[in-house]
Structure 1
Amino acid sequence: MELQNHQNMETGTIPPQLNHGGHEMFDVHEVLAGAICTLDTYTMLSEQVQDPELKTILERQKQFMTTEYNTTLECFKTGQDPSVPTQSYKMTQGNDFVYGMKPSTPKMPIQSVAGVNDQIISLSMLNSLKLGAVMKTNAALESTNPVVRRVLADSLPNCIEMAYEVSLYQNKKGYYQVPQLPQQDMQQMLNSYGPAAIVPPLNGNMTH
């Protein structure tokens, strides 16, 4: 076994399905386990949803994430291009946030399942999506297999888009309020940086 490993290191003839580093193995396992947890959470919450709009978002996202999970699993097991490439998730609603804070009841843990409502469900969805984005980012940065790295990296915009969709829904329903800085402070921060000067490379080439 040691001789075989040594030969693989020397010749680079590792089979595609074994073309994974140790950190990649652990981190992608976390991604896949996290994806299953998210899908299970969506399944459990689907029967509790009251708002048809949130129900539609939940079901559409669940279907998309199921396909994406299968794509990630396939390329991880084979080390090669998946039969179904990573797709691009597109939300259907507008992207206008309502800014400002209004008085609201302080949040606290619910005491029973009867307290589960659309606000709690949408927050659970959002937290799952945000956690998935972090795990996929970490795994992509640790991946040595080029296909797995690309699949993970390509799925990140989908995590962001789905999380954005849920946060827009929460904002529209008043579940998620977005404070703003005073305009004077915003202008000062917006003007705190200037563009960098573009210096041409020596000899017109960055390489030696």
Structure 2
Amino acid sequence: MAANLGAHEVMELHEVLSDTVTGINTVQLYGEHCKDPQLKSLLNKQLDFMVDEYNNMVSAINQAGFQEAVPYRANTNFSPTYGLRSPSPTTPNPSAKQVDDQDVASALMGIHKTGASKRMMASLECANPELRRMLIQGAINCADQAYDVWQYMNSRGYYQVPTMQQNTTNTMINMYQPMGFTS
């Protein structure tokens, strides 16, 4: 397989796989702090998916064959809550013993955001179309996992969505107009 990969691809794969190992290890550490059964279930579902995806990537590069990456299925039946509802002040925890569900969810969100960014950036360095496709699907998977975590956080008030006055929103959105094409 190495003969079919360029230097950039190998280095980017190294970055993605190294980040994935760190993500899996971090999720395992944070999992011990979960108290909410819904968050624990989500964390375990995502940890299993992360391990499977990691194993598929390692298998693909070691066995000279890229398989279609399995898509993550995010919950699509969710109505977000918009607006700020008395957000609490945030400070770092004085000790790891004080890590709570909000910290766990925030860490999980960060892991998926980083994973999506790294995979997409790596895909842009690929000459091998199958590797490129696998990394792009991996970026989509991370984005979908982040969205599942975001839904949990939004429903608990941990990740609120600030809004602007409607006239400000309308002004900003309406300033962009279609371009007229001339031949």
Superposition TM-score, scaled by structure 2 size: 0.92
Pairing 1:141–2:117 present: no
How far apart, CA to CA, are the structure 1 residues paired with 2:51 and 2:181? 44
Task: For 1:61, give the aligned amino acid.
Answer: Q
Tell me, what secondary structure is at the counterpart of 2:75?
A: coil
Tell me, what secondary structure is at the counterpart of 2:124?
A: helix
How far apart, CA to CA, are the structure 1 residues paired with 2:49 and 2:27? 12
Pairing 1:34–2:2 present: no
How far apart, CA to CA, are the structure 2 residues paired with 1:150 and 1:179? 35
**Alignment correspondent of 1:110:** 93
Deviation for aligned residue 1:197: 4.2
Deviation for aligned residue 1:93: 6.1
Q: CA-to-partner distance for each residue in 1:106-143, whole Å, 9 max, x for gaps?
A: 21111112211000000000000000111101110011
Deviation for aligned residue 1:53: 0.5
1:87 to 61, 67, 70: 70
Query: What's the % identity of the aligned pairs?
Result: 32
Deviation for aligned residue 1:49: 0.5
Q: CA-to-partner distance for each residue in 1:71-128, whole Å, 9 max, x for gaps?
A: 222222344223xx31111123633211111323321111112211000000000000
Pairing 1:194–2:177 present: yes
Q: Which has the larger radius of gyration?
A: 1
Matches within 5 A, 1:16-95: 16-82=1-67, 85-92=68-75, 94-95=77-78
Unaligned runs of 5+ in 2: none
